[in-house]
Amino acid sequence: MTSSSFRIFLYIIFIISVSLRVVLAIVNKGYANDDHIKVSRLILETGKLPGPYDCWECNQQKLYHLTTAKLWDFLKLNTGQERYILAQLINAIAGILTIIILWLLIKNQPYSYYNKLLCFSLISLNPGLIAINAQASNDSFIILFGTIVIYSLYKLMNKTTVKYFLILLTSSILAGLTKTNSLVLITSVICILIIKIISNRNYNLSLNRGYVGFLIIYLITVFIFVGYFGEYYKNYQKYGKPLVYTVPTGEFPHLLKKTNFFRPGVQSIIGGYFTFRIGDLIKHPIITNDKYTYPLHRTSVWSQLYGRANFIYFGDWPIGPWQCRNPNILDVGRITLILALLPMLIFLSGLFQDIRVWSELFFRRDINFLKNNKEWIFHIFILGYLVFIILFTAIGRDFSYMKMIYIYPGILAIVIPLLKGGDYIYHHIFKNRIIFLVFNTIIFVLLISYIIPIIYLINNLT
pLDDT digits (tens, 9 = 90+) for 43-58: 999 999 999 999 989 9
Three-class secondary structure of residue 398 per DSSP: strand
Across all residues in the chain, what is the average pLDDT? 93
> What per-residue confidence (pLDDT) applies to 65?
97
Task: Place 355 in a pLDDT band, splitting at 50, 70 and 90.
Answer: confident
CB 335 within 8 A of CB 310: no
| 322, 453 Cβ separation under 8 angstroms | no
Residue 377 above 80 pLDDT? Answer: yes
Torsion of CA 66, 69, 70, 72, to 10 degrees: 160
**Is the Cβ–Cβ distance between 185 and 153 less than 8 Å?**
no
Q: Answer yes or no: is pLDDT of 208 > 90.
A: no
Please tell me the predicted confidence (pLDDT) of residue 106.
96
Asked whether residue 367 carries a pLDDT value surpassing 80, the answer given is no
- pTM for this prediction: 0.96
Class of residue 459 by CB neighbours under 10 A (exposed 0-12, middle 13-18, buried 19+): exposed
Query: pLDDT value at position 324?
Result: 96
Q: Which ranges constitute the DSSP H helices of 248-375?
A: 269-273, 278-283, 301-310, 327-339, 341-363, 368-372
What pLDDT does residue 376 have? 92
Task: Over range 225-230, report the average pLDDT.
Answer: 92
pLDDT on residue 246: 75
Residue 363 has pLDDT above 80, yes or no: no
Q: How far apart are CA 336 and CA 445, in angstroms?
A: 8
Contact 221, 214 (CB under 8 A): no
| DSSP 8-state symbol, 297 | G
CA distance 399 to 287: 10
CA 272 vs CA 99, 259, 302, 404, 410: distances in Å? 31, 11, 8, 15, 22
Which residue from 120, 150, 118 is spatially nearest to 413, judged by alpha carbons?
A: 150
- Tens of pLDDT along 131-171? 999 999 999 999 999 999 999 999 999 888 899 999 999 99
pLDDT tens, position by position, 75-87: 999 999 999 999 9
Write the CB contacts of 390 (distance below 8 Å, at least 6 apart in sequence): 273, 301
User: Within 76-112, where are the H helices?
Assistant: 80-107
pLDDT given at position 156: 94
Residue partners of 142: CB distance under 8 A and separation at least 6:
175, 178, 179, 181, 182, 409
The pLDDT value recorded for residue 262 is 86
